[in-house]
C-alpha cells in the first residue's frame, strides 16, 4: 500500500482513499445511529462512543430518530451513507425492517456494528443475518430474569407481576420481557403474570397503563419496568396511587431519576446497563474492522450492575448511573 499511497500523492486531483483501504483507520468517520433522541441511555452511549473515537483519532457523527420507528431510522442511515461515512454503529429500530438499508451500506464496503439491539435472530456467527462485524449489548434475557427473580423475592414470593417494556420491535426489551416471564414461571404457582404493556418509550403512556392495570388487578404485587421510560411511568403511577412499598418495582436502566426513586423507596431494584462501554466497544470494533483486524467475538455482552438501597452509595454503583 506504500506504492498505492505514493501513486495517490503524485496525482493532484485525487479524492481521499476510503479509510478501509488506507494504512490506518485514523481520520476515518464513524457514524453512530442510536435508538431514539433524548433517551439518557443513548446519550450516555454517545458520550462513551465520542470518548473512544477521540482516543482512536477518528471522527464520530451521531443521529437518531425521535421515536422507535424503522421508517424514521432508515433515512438517517441512508443519509450517513450518502455523506460517505466509513463505518456504521447502529441500534436497529427493528430486527427485520432495518436489514435492507444496512445491508446496502455493507455491500458498499461500510462495516456495520450493532449496539444494544440486534438484527435478525441476533446471532451473527450462524444466524439469519451474518454481515454485521460485531454486536455489542447487555445479556437482556438474563437481565430480565435476574430483575424479576429479585422482584419476586421482594414481593415475598407471591402475587402478580406486571411487565412494561418499550415496543414489540425493540429486541432488547422483548428479551427482558421473556426473561421476566421465565422467572415468573420458575417461581411456581403462587406467582402469576398480570399482563404485558408496551409503552413506546414514553413515561406518560407507562404511567397511564399502570394506573389502568392497578384498577383491574388489585392483586398486583410487583412491576417490572423493562426500560427507562417504562420504570419511570410505573413509579409515577405508584406514587399517585400512594402504593410505595406495597407494590414493588424493578427498573431496568439507571438514569438519575431511577436512583432517586430507589432512595425514596418507590423503586426497589435498579439494573444498570453500561451504555458508555457498549458505545465505546462498538466504536472500537468498527475501527478494527476498518483496519481489517479480526473483530471477535462477533457477539459480545457487556455486564450490567445491580443497584439496591444497600449498595447505592458504593463507588461501583455510583459509577454505573447514566451520565450524559
Ligand atoms: O433500555 C434501554 C435500551 O437498552 C433499550 O433498547 C431501549 O430503551 C432504553 O434505551 C432505555 O430507555
What digits encode the pLDDT tens for the residues 243-290? 999 999 999 999 999 999 999 999 999 999 999 999 999 999 999 999
Average pLDDT of the residues in 179-206: 97
Residue 3 has pLDDT above 80, yes or no: no
Query: Model pTM?
Result: 0.92
Q: Is the pLDDT of residue 22 over 90?
A: no
In whole angstroms, give the CA distance from residue 313 to residue 285: 33
pLDDT greater than 90 at residue 231 = yes
The overall average pLDDT reported for the chain is 93
How many C-beta atoms surround the C-beta of residue 265 within 10 A?
A: 12
Residue corresponding to grid cell 471522527: 59
**Residues 115-139 as b or e (16 or more Cβ within 10 Å = b):** bbbbbbebebeeeebeebbbbbbbb
Asked if the model's pLDDT at residue 4 lies above 80, the reply is no
Q: Grid coordinates in use for 148?
A: 424479576
Mutation probe of ligand 1 site: the residue of 43, 93, 117, 172 with most atoms within 8 A of C-beta: 172
Ligand 1 centroid–CA 24 distance in Å is 33
Cα gap 223→258, rounded to integer Å: 14
pLDDT band at residue 5 using 50, 70 and 90 as cut-offs: very low
- With beta carbons less than 8 A apart as the criterion, state whether 165 and 226 touch: yes
| Dihedral sign for Cα atoms in the order 288, 294, 299, 304 | negative
Report whether residue 228 contacts ligand 1, using a CB cutoff of 6 Å: yes
pLDDT digits (tens, 9 = 90+) for 74-86: 999 999 999 999 9
39 CA to centre of ligand 1 in angstroms: 8
Which residue in this structure is represented by grid cell 454485521?
132
Q: How many angstroms separate the CA atoms of 305 and 272, rounded? A: 5
- 23 compared with 171, residue with greater pLDDT: 171
The pLDDT-based confidence of 20 (bands split at 50, 70, 90) is: very low
Lowest mean pLDDT: which of 104-108, 132-136, 291-295? 291-295
d(CA 223, CA 220): 8
CA distance 154 to 79: 48
> Is ligand 1 within 6 A of the CB of residue 36?
no
The answer to whether the beta carbons of residues 187 and 157 sit under 8 Å apart is yes
pLDDT the model gives residue 114: 98
CA distance 54 to 58: 6
The whole-number pLDDT of residue 8 equals 35
Work out the pLDDT band at 297, boundaries 50, 70, 90.
confident
Q: How far does residue 42's CA lie from ligand 1's centre (Å)?
A: 8
- The answer to ipTM > 0.95 is yes
pLDDT band of 21, cuts 50, 70, 90 = very low
Res 23: pLDDT: 60
- The string of pLDDT tens digits covering residues 146-192 is 999 999 999 999 999 999 999 999 999 999 999 999 999 999 999 99
Residue 41 cell numbers, joined: 441511555
Strand partners of residue 161: 193, 222
- Pairing type for strands 299-301 and 220-225 reads unpaired
> Is 218's pLDDT higher than 50?
yes
Cα(227) to ligand 1 centroid in Å equals 5
Q: How high is the pLDDT of residue 9?
A: 35
CB 25 within 8 A of CB 19: yes
Amino acid at each position: 500500500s506504500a506504492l498505492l499511497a505514493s501513486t495517490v500523492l503524485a496525482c493532484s486531483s485525487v479524492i481521499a482513499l476510503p479509510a478501509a483501504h488506507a494504512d490506518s483507520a485514523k481520520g476515518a468517520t464513524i457514524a453512530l445511529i442510536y435508538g431514539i433522541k433524548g433517551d439518557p441511555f443513548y446519550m450516555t452511549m454517545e458520550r462513551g462512543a465520542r470518548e473512544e473515537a477521540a482516543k482512536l483519532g477518528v471522527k464520530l457523527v451521531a443521529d437518531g430518530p425521535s421515536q422507535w420507528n424503522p421508517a424514521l431510522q432508515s433515512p438517517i442511515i441512508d443519509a450517513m451513507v450518502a455523506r460517505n461515512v466509513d463505518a456504521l454503529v447502529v441500534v436497529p429500530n427493528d430486527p427485520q425492517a432495518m436489514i435492507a438499508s444496512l445491508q446496502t451500506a455493507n455491500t458498499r464496503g461500510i462495516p456495520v456494528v450493532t449496539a444494544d439491539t440486534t438484527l435478525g435472530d441476533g446471532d451473527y456467527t450462524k444466524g439469519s443475518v451474518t454481515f454485521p462485524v460485531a454486536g455489542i449489548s447487555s445479556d437482556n434475557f438474563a437481565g430480565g430474569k435476574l430483575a424479576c427473580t429479585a422482584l419476586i423475592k421482594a414481593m415475598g414470593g407471591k402475587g402478580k407481576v406486571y411487565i412494561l417494556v418499550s415496543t414489540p420491535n425493540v429486541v432488547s426489551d422483548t428479551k427482558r420481557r421473556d426473561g421476566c416471564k421465565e422467572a415468573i414461571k420458575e417461581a411456581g404457582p403462587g406467582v402469576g403474570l398480570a399482563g404485558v404493556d408496551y409503552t413506546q418509550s414514553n413515561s406518560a403512556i407507562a404511567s397511564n397503563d399502570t394506573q389502568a392495570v392497578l384498577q383491574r388487578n388489585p392483586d398486583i404485587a410487583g412491576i417490572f419496568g423493562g426500560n427507562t421510560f417504562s420504570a419511570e411511568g410505573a413509579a409515577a403511577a405508584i406514587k399517585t396511587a400512594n402504593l410505595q412499598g406495597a407494590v414493588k418495582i424493578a427498573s431496568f436502566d439507571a438514569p438519575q431519576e431511577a436512583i432517586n426513586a430507589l432512595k425514596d423507596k418507590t423503586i426497589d431494584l435498579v439494573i444498570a446497563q453500561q451504555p458508555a462501554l457498549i458505545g465505546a466497544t462498538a466504536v472500537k470494533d468498527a475501527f478494527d474492522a476498518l483496519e481489517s483486524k479480526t473483530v471477535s467475538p462477533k457477539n459480545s455482552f457487556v455486564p450490567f450492575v445491580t443497584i439496591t438501597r444497600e449498595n447505592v452509595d458504593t463507588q461501583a454503583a455510583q459509577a454505573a448511573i447514566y451520565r450524559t
